[in-house]
């Protein structure tokens, strides 16, 4: 009855429903054959979550909007790169919640906004540009002070919405996956792109609460494995607290982060991510981006070729989105 318990624990936390249906769960037999994978290959299509062009950030946004509402907020403030998927989803969530949205973006203001930056404008978000990553937090604090002085009630959504509350969206997603699987066995391994840690922490917690032996492997988009692992461990303690469980509930859960697919850096393609993007598109009509999902898929392909999945029956690629970035 672990599943029911998990569902009722999460059901106590307020969430704004942004999507009315589960993301698809697809088989990827042609990609599987192309990479010589022995186990079956499933893809959890969060790229096709039916809200604001989708992606994993949709799962977190529902919880953060509800939290902001409960705090009496009327404006969401968040940050990211100019092409942040998280900022776009936050702007979309604010729009349907009837809230304002202010985005602090690090990078050059684009002469003509494209992709996520274009959607931010269409969604009505105010965008402030700062030069460097480390300028983002002070700029968000300043914006919050400014809005407060004008009588508004801002709520700051931290980078990637990777708070324990936001990560609950991914805890719930494990239940969604199990419902879709029906009686079929859970995947032995889940591979996904990892960056601010909320997705991985939520999936690990969700698998544990559902008593699954599933190994969750996060392929880092930028951070060194040690730093990301520590963040995930902290988030796991926070997730336990959000669910009313002892903070040490997830202690001892293995955290697998692989930072060897980053290449030259965040957002820069590698030979392996190019191959992954071509294979995904040409075999399955799936689109992956070079910041996150193509590198994660490159990791899955490398593991498959190295025989690291040979003992598994089912491998699942959790597609976290990012396709909008292809139009940047």
Residue 327 beta carbon to ligand PLP: minimum distance, rounded to whole angstroms: 14
**318 binds ligand PLP, rule: CB under 6 A:** no
**Beta bridge partners of residue 319, listed in sequence order:** 45
What proportions of the chain, in percent to the nearest 5, are helix, strand and coil?
45, 15, 35
Q: Between 23 and 162, name the residue whose CB sits nearer to ligand PLP.
A: 162
Binder among 85, 106, 116, 229 for ligand PLP (CB under 6 A)? 85
Say what the alpha-carbon torsion angle 203, 103, 67, 211 is, to the nearest 10 degrees: 0
Nearest to 309 by CA among 182, 207, 217, 195: 217
Q: Which string of x and - marks every residue 156-175 that binds ligand PLP (by CB under 6 A)?
A: ----x-x-------------
Among 197, 238, 267, 299, binds ligand PLP (CB under 6 A): 197
Q: Is 84 a catalytic residue?
A: yes
Closest CA to 245 of 316, 154, 171: 171
83, 163, 214, 293: residue in contact with ligand PLP (rule CB under 6 A): 293
CB of 13 to ligand PLP, least distance (A): 18
Q: What angle do CA 103, 320, 311 make, to 5 degrees?
A: 155
198 binds ligand PLP (CB under 6 A): yes
Pick the binder of ligand PLP from 62, 164, 267, 322 (CB under 6 A).
322
Considering the rule CB under 6 A, would residue 75 count as an interface residue with ligand PLP?
no
Q: Which contiguous run of DSSP H or E holds residue 315?
A: strand 314-319
Please enumerate, as own/partner, the contacts of 52-55 that have beta carbons within 8 Å and a separation of 24 or more: 52/18, 52/88, 52/89, 52/92, 52/93, 52/119, 52/123, 53/88, 53/89, 53/92, 53/119, 53/321, 53/323, 53/324, 54/23, 54/321, 54/323, 55/85, 55/89, 55/320, 55/321, 55/322, 55/324
The verdict on 292 binding ligand PLP (CB under 6 A) reads: yes
Tell me which residue of 259, 325, 324 sits closest to 298, measured CA to CA: 259
Give me the 29-58 binding string for ligand PLP, x by CB under 6 A, dash otherwise: --------------------------xxx-
State the minimum distance, in angstroms, from the CB of residue 147 to ligand PLP: 25
d(CA 229, CA 258) in angstroms, rounded, equals 10
Site map 231..250 versus ligand PLP, x via CB under 6 A: --------------------
Q: State in angstroms the smallest separation of the CB of 166 from ligand PLP.
A: 8
State yes or no: residue 83 binds ligand PLP (CB under 6 A).
Answer: no
Residue 251, SS3 per DSSP: coil
Total residues interacting with ligand PLP, rule: CB under 6 A: 20
The residue among 100 and 267 lying less far from ligand PLP, judged by its C-beta, is 267
Among candidate residues 84, 194, 195, 273, the one labeled active-site is 84
Binding flag, residue 193, ligand PLP (CB under 6 A) = yes
Strand 189-194: give its sheet, edge to edge: 25-27, 40-45, 314-319, 189-194, 215-220, 256-258
Query: Using CB under 6 A, which of the segments 105-113, 117-125, 143-151, 195-203 binds ligand PLP?
Result: 195-203
Catalytic residue positions, numbered: 84
Residues in touch with ligand PLP (CB under 6 A): 55-57, 85-86, 160, 162, 193-200, 292-293, 320-322
């Amino acid at each position: 009855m672990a599943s029911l318990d998990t569902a009722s624990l999460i059901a106590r936390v307020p969430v704004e429903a942004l999507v009315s249906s589960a993301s698809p769960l697809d088989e990827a037999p042609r990609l599987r054959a192309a990479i010589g994978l022995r186990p079956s290959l499933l893809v959890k299509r969060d790229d096709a979550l039916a809200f604001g062009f989708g992606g994993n950030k949709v799962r977190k946004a529902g919880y953060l909007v509800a939290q902001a509402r409960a705090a009496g907020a009327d404006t969401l403030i968040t940050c990211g790169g100019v092409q942040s998927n998280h900022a776009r989803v936050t702007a979309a969530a604010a729009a349907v919640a009837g809230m304002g949205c202010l985005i602090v973006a690090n990078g050059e203001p684009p002469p003509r906004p494209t992709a996520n930056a274009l959607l931010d404008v269409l969604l009505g978000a105010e965008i402030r540009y700062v030069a460097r990553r480390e300028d983002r937090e002070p700029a968000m604090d300043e914006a919050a002070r400014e809005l407060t002085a004008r009588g508004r009630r801002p709520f700051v959504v931290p980078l990637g919405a990777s708070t324990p509350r936001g990560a609950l969206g991914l805890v719930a997603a494990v239940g969604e996956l199990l419902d879709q699987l029906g009686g079929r066995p859970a995947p032995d391994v889940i591979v996904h792109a990892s960056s601010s840690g909320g997705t991985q922490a939520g999936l690990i917690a969700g698998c544990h609460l559902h008593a699954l032996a599933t190994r969750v492997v996060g392929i880092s988009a930028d951070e060194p494995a040690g730093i990301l692992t520590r963040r995930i461990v902290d988030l796991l303690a926070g997730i336990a607290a959000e669910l009313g469980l002892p903070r040490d509930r997830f202690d001892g859960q293995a955290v697998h982060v692989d930072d060897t697919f980053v290449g030259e850096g965040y957002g820069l393609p590698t030979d392996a991510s190019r191959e992954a993007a071509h294979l995904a598109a040409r075999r399955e009509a799936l689109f992956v981006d070079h910041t996150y999902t193509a590198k994660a898929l490159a990791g899955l392909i490398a593991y498959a070729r190295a025989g690291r999945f040979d003992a598994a029956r089912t491998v699942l690629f959790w597609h976290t989105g990012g396709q909008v970035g292809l139009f940047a």
